[in-house]
Amino acid sequence: MRVLVTGGAGFIGSHVVEQLVGQGADVVVLDSLAAHDDVPDYLPPGVDLRVADLTDEAAVQRAVDGVDAVCHQAARVGLGVDLEDITAYVDDNDGGTATLLRALWRRSFRGRLVVASSMVVYGEGRYRCPEHGDVRAEPRHVEDLRAGRFDPRCGRCGSLLDWATVCEDAPLDPRNVYAATKVHTEHLAAVYGREAGAAVCALRYHNVYGPRMPRDTPYAGVASIFRSAYETGQAPRVFEDGGQMRDFVHVRDVARANLLALDSGWAGSCNIASGQPHSILDMARALRNGMAGLVRGQPSGPVRVPAPVVTGEFRLGDVRHVVASPDLAADVLGFRAQVGFTEGMAAFAGEPLR
């Protein structure tokens, strides 16, 4: 099988490529290498690397020629800095996806298409009121956040809400530009599937971490930001009270989910998550334990790893809790995460970043 992986030199895409090559697939990688100084040395030998931007129509058309399946990972990631980033996100994510889909249309492609989406399409997660059952969380107010009241309340009775797991049929509520482009990616791909008669699957990744994760930038994930702080001897700054609930899923599990999706004929969206929710503060502490284990083994003797600092700071656009239900992916793709939280974070403490 010949598979095109867009963004195949990146964090998640490179792990997808490795696993595809390990299963004997013929892999074409289309990547601009904009986030790299040179061709990464971790790409397996024999991969057909095409260095081009996804908005380069001629390069994309050549890349899709002869492929049996497409795994679309390329995207501008992270939440960005502010709305100055809006055109870059829309150009790369919406425009790049549109260029890919048009190239596939011109080729009359009806093979398998798997696209990378994200938990951010949900906005806030799912909540339950003790009196009113499932309710939508009201937007959080600056006055509450400044007073340290971080958890959302029921809009009908004012009770504190309890988080619950989010299923794929939850309403989509993107809260930033990146999230909006991920919703659009899903919608564009679904339209292509209907028009072309192709089976399209969108994988909604939750908090992915692991080797080759981008380093501490405004576009990096929180695990990478905390890891970079520990490496420089600084205490990670944990916003709010650290109680924000997330699902941290290892990148090798995410890559395996992509291979299962490529082998499946199921069409629709799936959460890709570990099924083991933890708070942001839990993650900071688990990563600290992993870092402490590394420095204890250094010949120079023990080095202090600072404890995370809970700052009470907040960003109005952040969501409080997003925890996925992994059940649908288990049912339709046969996917269940294999890397546990404690072992994964311990390993991540010493794995290479990009």
- The half-sphere exposure of 80 on its side-chain side, counting CA atoms within 13 A, is 20
> Are the beta carbons of 273 and 324 closer than 8 angstroms?
yes
Per DSSP, the residues of 32-78 read --TT-SS--TTSPTT-EEEE--TT-HHHHHHHHTT-SEEEE-----S
Q: Output the furthest CA–CA distance in the chain (Å, rounded).
A: 63
Question: Rg of the Cα trace of the chain?
Answer: 20
Residue 271, token pair as written in the block = 């959460």
- Reported as type and span, the H/E element at residue 351 is none
Identify the CA nearest to 72 among candidates 27, 122, 30, 118. Answer: 30
* Residue 300: per-residue pLDDT: 47
Q: Is the pLDDT of residue 319 over 60?
A: yes
Tell me the one-letter amino acid at 170: A
- Reported as type and span, the H/E element at residue 21 is helix 11-22
> Are the beta carbons of 345 and 288 closer than 8 angstroms?
no
Q: Is the pLDDT of residue 216 over 50?
A: yes
Pair type for strands 207-209 and 133-135: unpaired
Whole-angstrom distance, CA of residue 273 vs CA of residue 208: 8
Least confident of 137-141, 192-196, 204-208: 137-141
Least confident of 28-32, 74-78, 116-120, 296-300: 296-300
> Are the beta carbons of 319 and 175 closer than 8 angstroms?
yes
**Beta carbons within 10 angstroms of residue 278's beta carbon:** 19
Return the axis-axis angle of helices 251-263 and 11-22, rounded to nearest 10°. Answer: 60
pLDDT: which is higher, 162 or 295: 162
Mean pLDDT, the chain, rounded, equals: 92
Mean pLDDT, residues 146-172 taken together: 94
Residue 268, token pair as written in the block = 């629709």
> Are the beta carbons of 205 and 117 closer than 8 angstroms?
yes
Per DSSP, the residues of 218-239 read TTS-HHHHHHHHHHTTPPPEE-
- Reported as type and span, the H/E element at residue 276 is none
Mean pLDDT, residues 105-133 taken together: 95
Whole-angstrom distance, CA of residue 334 vs CA of residue 265: 12
**Structural domains of the chain, ranges and CATH numbers in brackets:** 2-125+166-349 (3.40.50.720), 126-165 (no CATH)
* Residue 304: per-residue pLDDT: 77
pLDDT in tens, 242-286: 999 999 999 999 999 999 999 999 999 999 999 999 999 999 999
Mean pLDDT, residues 159-173 taken together: 94
* Residue 77: per-residue pLDDT: 80
Mean pLDDT, residues 55-82 taken together: 90
Identify the CA nearest to 31 among candidates 58, 14, 9. Answer: 9
Identify the CA nearest to 138 among candidates 150, 122, 154. Answer: 154
Mean pLDDT, residues 160-179 taken together: 93
Mean pLDDT, residues 210-226 taken together: 81
* Residue 353: per-residue pLDDT: 86
* Residue 327: per-residue pLDDT: 97
pLDDT in tens, 246-258: 999 999 999 999 9
Whole-angstrom distance, CA of residue 63 vs CA of residue 48: 9
Region of 332 please: left (phi>0), alpha (psi -120 to 50) or beta.
alpha
* Residue 299: per-residue pLDDT: 47
Predicted TM-score (pTM) of this structure: 0.94
Whole-angstrom distance, CA of residue 43 vs CA of residue 15: 9
> Are the beta carbons of 48 and 22 closer than 8 angstroms?
no
> Are the beta carbons of 182 and 231 closer than 8 angstroms?
no
